[in-house]
Structure 1
Amino acid sequence: MYDPISEAVDQLIAPVKAYTGFSSDITKSFVSFTFTFIFAFIWPHLKAGAQRHFSSLVSGVFMLLFSYGTYSTLAFLGLVIPSYIIIACGFGQRHPLVVFAFNMVYLLTTFGYYYKTAYGVWQMDITGPLMIAVQKCTSLAWNLFDGHRQSESIKKNGGVPPEKPVLRTSHQRRVAINECPSFFKFISWIFFPISISYGPSAEYSMYISSVERTTSPLKSRYKLFFEQLILGIICMVYFVKPTDTSFIYDEKFIQKPLIKKILIIHISMEWTRLKYYAAWSLTNAAMILAGAGFDGHSWEGAINCFIFRLETARRPRVFIADWNCGTQRFLKYYIYVRGPTDKKTGQLHPFMQYTTFIVSAVWHGWYLAYSLHFSILFLINVIDRLYFSMFPIKNEKRPLLYGIKETEKELKELEAKKKEKDADAATPSPLLPSSSPSPMYSPSMTSAPSLATPAQTSTATEAKNEKTGLFDVLRGIFDWMWTGLLFNYAASTFAVLIWPDVLQINRVVDWWGLKVIAVVIPVLMVMKTIKGKKQRKEKNSKEL
């Protein structure tokens, strides 16, 4: 179907394409990022309130029209406008799952169209912005639901917050809202141009605080801005030579020894990650420059990937948490913690973890490769839980996020030292230790129940004074290697996407990753059972 706007854009970028040799999609992305940085520089200097809302809306509409065309932009509106109507009429606020269900059906229908018309073809299409919009619309419905629950609990308690909060996590309490935003505010948030295509999908409360801020954003953000900008520019080297996975059918590659084939695919996946790092780092930089995503404590809402922490991760849990952080937060707070709980223990049912991985697979699209990829990630996460519960890392501590003040860090260290003195009298808690903040929060925030199992959260006091020897260093290298190898094995199914290619890339390496997982999980389960019995026996003998 003829689209005059797309035709005009193609003519406009033709000289750039001819000069660089890049495809239309890549050229549009570079032009869009240039516009994004101009917007990010100007936006904080606009008058708080309506001016920022209006500029966000106009710029976002321009970005969509430029990148995707008229009909795709209309398709985008076909999701967000009905979602707002469902929320604004009150039904979506009482039943947020209905908003989520509508969004997912709409998204999957759009995926189905591209699955049929562009099977296995990588292209920039409207499904990217729609995926972000699903997160935003769903989170807004849940935020209003939580806000009403919180208000009702305070009213029932005589106007005083109850001792036991009705909301499970501090994140829910921080982002809960009581009043549905006007359509103008809602649509300007949805169209916020910096995150409309690649995320992160900052919470509505974070966006509105940036819009209404009358003071200039922190000047210290410029250091973080340049760090992310330089990272993004460096990672753009990927586009000089994009990954070509057709080598998996090359007879020369197939005849290579198994170890060599595993390492070649491993390196190929490391290289492939650069395109995500490039897009996310540049988006991070623009978010920080605009002063958006800062919640008063950290740049949580502005950061979508912690590259160094991810690439040096020695356990899968850290790897997962530092990749696509915006989506991780969405899955954690709007899928995982919303699941049913055990009436006796109050804990979430174990099946919610796998359910969350499957929701992530469906959110990505119709390809079976996504289901296999996220199923493998779930199994790797099981290995993490079993392995590190029996062999905890010495002196493991979570790094502070961007934006944490040194004074807050010092206070936390003093608190940790105080707890260390009382370690003998302390009882291990199933929650995250206060000296070890959650990866999503600054230390100054209220502690939230950990979604990890007690086995995953060893107390920091036990390992504070332990010396790290050669064995610990070698074990750290071993953990880093198996974490990276298994994740890149899972990533290979995501990268090739088409099912025949998925089968081929696994056949050439003899399905090594799944075979290792199939052996390691039962062995670790037996070891944990034996260790548990031994610990209970020792405990009983001490009590006698």
Structure 2
Amino acid sequence: MVRSGDFYAGSRLLSPLTEVIGLPIDQVNFVVCQLVALVLAFPFRLVLSPSTTSLTVRHVVQVTVGMALTFFCFGYQIYHLIILSFVCYLLMKYGSRDWMHKAVFVYNMLYLSATHIWRQIYDYGGYTLDITGPLMIMTQKMTSMAFALHDGIYKDNSRLSDDQKSQAIRKMPSFLTFYSYVFYFHGIMCGPLCFFSDFISFMEGRNFSEAKIPFTENGTTNNTLTTNNEDTCKKTTLTTKHYGIEKATLKTLLTAGICGILMIFVAPHLCPPEGLVSPSWYEMNFVQKMGYLLICLMLAKQKYYFAWKLGEAVNNAAGLGFQGFDKDGKPKWDLVNNVDIWGVEFCNSLKLNLDAWNKTTLIWLRRVVYDRVPKFKVYAVFACSATWHGFYPGYYLTFATGMLLTFAARLIRRKIRPLFQVTASLAYFYDCITFTFVRLANPWMCAPFLMLELMPAIQLYNSLYWYLHIMAMVALVVLPFYHPPKPKTEEKKTQ
């Protein structure tokens, strides 16, 4: 494995806590800043609510607290966020309608790439927290905002999709509003990403005030509605109980706490990543290696689960995350939900597995890449995602492997799945097979991402005979020539 660097630009004020907690100073500062943001989120929502406080005051609080937390956690590196966002503001405000959005995208990706490369120079292989994390979120914010602004100001509304219409920004925001979005304190540390139109709806209180809960004619919650329109929704005086703020925040905090315990007390001792390249690895048989790899990657994901769920909880406490009610009248708190842990760990489809991981980033990639490029959409998404993450060879091996397995899984579903849909037993058997495949494919794809370097990842795949790569390539070569028989119902129609 590569060595870890010790570079850190943030405050050292809490250094005495490192010996007590057992975490390095960068992680201590991160957790403390998130806890401070969590504590401040409640009075921001309750005392400085949109119904009692002017929008200007709420924006000023967001900028002030957000910049203070950022400076405490990342020190002088905060200037990266200021420079990046300021240039983007100028491009969006004064740039040409023909290239403004494209210039913002290119500028952000180049700036982020430069910081990734510089990070690899001064802290090669290290996991010390630095400004590249917030810069990755900032890149998502600025690029999505630029495209939404271009859609709202320069494009004909009839040419926009429904999603683009909902996200379109109809006028250039003020400098204060812009920097409130850049530095809002409950999302500056690690997100998850919130798009500008959703953020403004939250700041103005429209995410709550415009929410409608489905009711029946007698005034009780409708548990059978399948639509959510003006005829089936009635305005009522909604309380925090209806919104479920406390429940959503507590549930997410509890999930983050469990993931944090696994991250600190279990992951370093049970199947650590270092074991993937240790001499003992080569003494294991194939089944033992796959078991070790499965447990190792499952535990390695806990740090992402912890950070994302803690960030989601902080946002929920401030009131950001609510986006209406479902057809049963239950509040939906999934606006800034960045990971569906159950979906990642227990789904039976590779597509569902990928969709459940880093969800807001997938939405960003769809809105700024997939929906914008004329062709080679999937390749463009994978290329952008890999560049956005950085330049360790392991990242690119992970995304290349993911693309290969995704194409193979699509082909298998189209060609093989119909054969198992004849009876319920066969369909269940097919689901069991795909469930097992996803459990094997997930750590197989993600191992190079964890190892960072190319040769250790190659050695890992060598020790496992590249079996999933080979199976995927065989499927891609052979299955195009196989045509499954038509169902009997279709045969009768054609006769």
TM-score by length of 2: 0.83
- State whether residues 358 and 375 of structure 1, in contact with CA within 8 Å, keep that contact through their aligned partners in structure 2: no
2:356 corresponds to 1:363: no
- State whether residues 267 and 296 of structure 2, in contact with CA within 8 Å, keep that contact through their aligned partners in structure 1: no
- State whether residues 73 and 126 of structure 1, in contact with CA within 8 Å, keep that contact through their aligned partners in structure 2: yes
Alignment partners' CA distance in 1, 2:64 and 2:200: 17
Alignment partners' CA distance in 2, 1:249 and 1:357: 27
- Helix, strand or coil for the counterpart of 2:301? helix
Counterparts in 2 of 1:23-62, with a 5 A limit? 23-45=24-46, 46=48, 47-62=53-68
Alignment partners' CA distance in 1, 2:38 and 2:418: 41
Alignment partners' CA distance in 1, 2:159 and 2:203: 29
Counterparts in 2 of 1:351-500, with a 5 A limit? 351-392=376-417, 468-469=424-425, 471-500=426-455
- Show CA shifts across 1:324-345 (max 9, x none): 11101000111111011xxxxx
> Which one of 313, 324, 330 corresponds to residue 296 of structure 1?
324
Deviation at 1:248, TM superposition (A): 2.6
Deviation at 1:515, TM superposition (A): 1.9
Segment of structure 1 superposing worse, 278-287 or 102-111: 278-287
- State whether residues 200 and 325 of structure 1, in contact with CA within 8 Å, keep that contact through their aligned partners in structure 2: no
Aligned to 2:304: 276
Alignment partners' CA distance in 2, 1:540 and 1:233: 56
State how many pairs are aligned. 441
Alignment partners' CA distance in 2, 1:120 and 1:352: 31
Deviation at 1:197, TM superposition (A): 2.8
Sort the Cα spacing of 1:521 and 1:176 in 2 relative to 1 into closer, same or farther, 3 A: same
Aligned to 1:200: 192
Alignment-mate amino acid for residue 471 of structure 2: V
Aligned to 1:337: 371
Alignment partners' CA distance in 2, 1:538 and 1:136: 50
Sort the Cα spacing of 1:322 and 1:40 in 2 relative to 1 into closer, same or farther, 3 A: same
Deviation at 1:483, TM superposition (A): 1.0
- State whether residues 373 and 494 of structure 1, in contact with CA within 8 Å, keep that contact through their aligned partners in structure 2: yes
Alignment-mate amino acid for residue 66 of structure 1: F
Alignment partners' CA distance in 1, 2:31 and 2:494: 68
- Show CA shifts across 1:160-203 (max 9, x none): xxxxx4113x2211111110111110111011122223222111
Alignment-mate amino acid for residue 266 of structure 1: L
- State whether residues 312 and 480 of structure 1, in contact with CA within 8 Å, keep that contact through their aligned partners in structure 2: yes
Alignment-mate amino acid for residue 360 of structure 1: S
Aligned to 1:326: 360
Alignment-mate amino acid for residue 209 of structure 1: S
Counterparts in 2 of 1:70-109, with a 5 A limit? 70=76, 72-91=77-96, 95-109=100-114
- State whether residues 144 and 178 of structure 1, in contact with CA within 8 Å, keep that contact through their aligned partners in structure 2: yes
2:245 corresponds to 1:236: no
Any stretches of 5+ residues in structure 2 without a counterpart? 1-7, 210-238, 326-331
Alignment partners' CA distance in 2, 1:220 and 1:320: 28
- Show CA shifts across 1:518-542 (max 9, x none): 2232233333xx23xx559997995
Alignment partners' CA distance in 2, 1:73 and 1:393: 54
Deviation at 1:391, TM superposition (A): 4.8
Alignment partners' CA distance in 2, 1:90 and 1:112: 28
- Helix, strand or coil for the counterpart of 1:91? coil
Work out the percentage of aligned pairs sharing the same amino acid.
Answer: 25
- State whether residues 151 and 169 of structure 2, in contact with CA within 8 Å, keep that contact through their aligned partners in structure 1: yes
- Helix, strand or coil for the counterpart of 2:335? helix
Alignment partners' CA distance in 2, 1:222 and 1:380: 40
2:291 corresponds to 1:263: yes
- State whether residues 194 and 286 of structure 1, in contact with CA within 8 Å, keep that contact through their aligned partners in structure 2: yes
- Show CA shifts across 1:42-94 (max 9, x none): 22121241122111111111121111112x10122121110111001143685
Sort the Cα spacing of 1:483 and 1:301 in 2 relative to 1 into closer, same or farther, 3 A: same
Any stretches of 5+ residues in structure 1 without a counterpart? 154-164, 341-348, 396-462
- Show CA shifts across 1:457-484 (max 9, x none): xxxxxx9xx9843x43333222111012
- State whether residues 200 and 301 of structure 1, in contact with CA within 8 Å, keep that contact through their aligned partners in structure 2: no
Alignment partners' CA distance in 1, 2:191 and 2:249: 16
Aligned to 2:175: 183
Alignment partners' CA distance in 2, 1:308 and 1:394: 28
- State whether residues 143 and 175 of structure 1, in contact with CA within 8 Å, keep that contact through their aligned partners in structure 2: yes
Alignment partners' CA distance in 2, 1:287 and 1:467: 46
Sort the Cα spacing of 1:21 and 1:486 in 2 relative to 1 into closer, same or farther, 3 A: same
Sort the Cα spacing of 1:269 and 1:303 in 2 relative to 1 into closer, same or farther, 3 A: same
Sort the Cα spacing of 1:541 and 1:302 in 2 relative to 1 into closer, same or farther, 3 A: closer
What is the RMSD computed on CA atoms of the aligned residues? 2.7
- State whether residues 392 and 453 of structure 2, in contact with CA within 8 Å, keep that contact through their aligned partners in structure 1: yes
2:149 corresponds to 1:138: no
> Which one of 43, 54, 69 corresponds to residue 75 of structure 2?
69
Deviation at 1:242, TM superposition (A): 3.9
Alignment partners' CA distance in 2, 1:191 and 1:506: 42
Alignment-mate amino acid for residue 42 of structure 2: F
Moved over 4 A (4+): 214-218, 391-395, 534-544
Alignment partners' CA distance in 2, 1:260 and 1:210: 50
- State whether residues 387 and 524 of structure 1, in contact with CA within 8 Å, keep that contact through their aligned partners in structure 2: yes
2:259 corresponds to 1:226: no
- Helix, strand or coil for the counterpart of 1:302? coil
Sort the Cα spacing of 1:242 and 1:25 in 2 relative to 1 into closer, same or farther, 3 A: farther
Aligned to 1:167: 160
Alignment-mate amino acid for residue 118 of structure 2: Y
- Helix, strand or coil for the counterpart of 1:301? coil
- State whether residues 199 and 326 of structure 1, in contact with CA within 8 Å, keep that contact through their aligned partners in structure 2: no
Alignment partners' CA distance in 1, 2:493 and 2:23: 71
Aligned to 2:463: 508
- Helix, strand or coil for the counterpart of 2:14? helix
Alignment partners' CA distance in 2, 1:537 and 1:230: 51
Aligned to 1:409: none
Alignment partners' CA distance in 2, 1:306 and 1:388: 23
Alignment partners' CA distance in 1, 2:124 and 2:323: 40
Alignment-mate amino acid for residue 65 of structure 1: F
- State whether residues 109 and 139 of structure 2, in contact with CA within 8 Å, keep that contact through their aligned partners in structure 1: yes
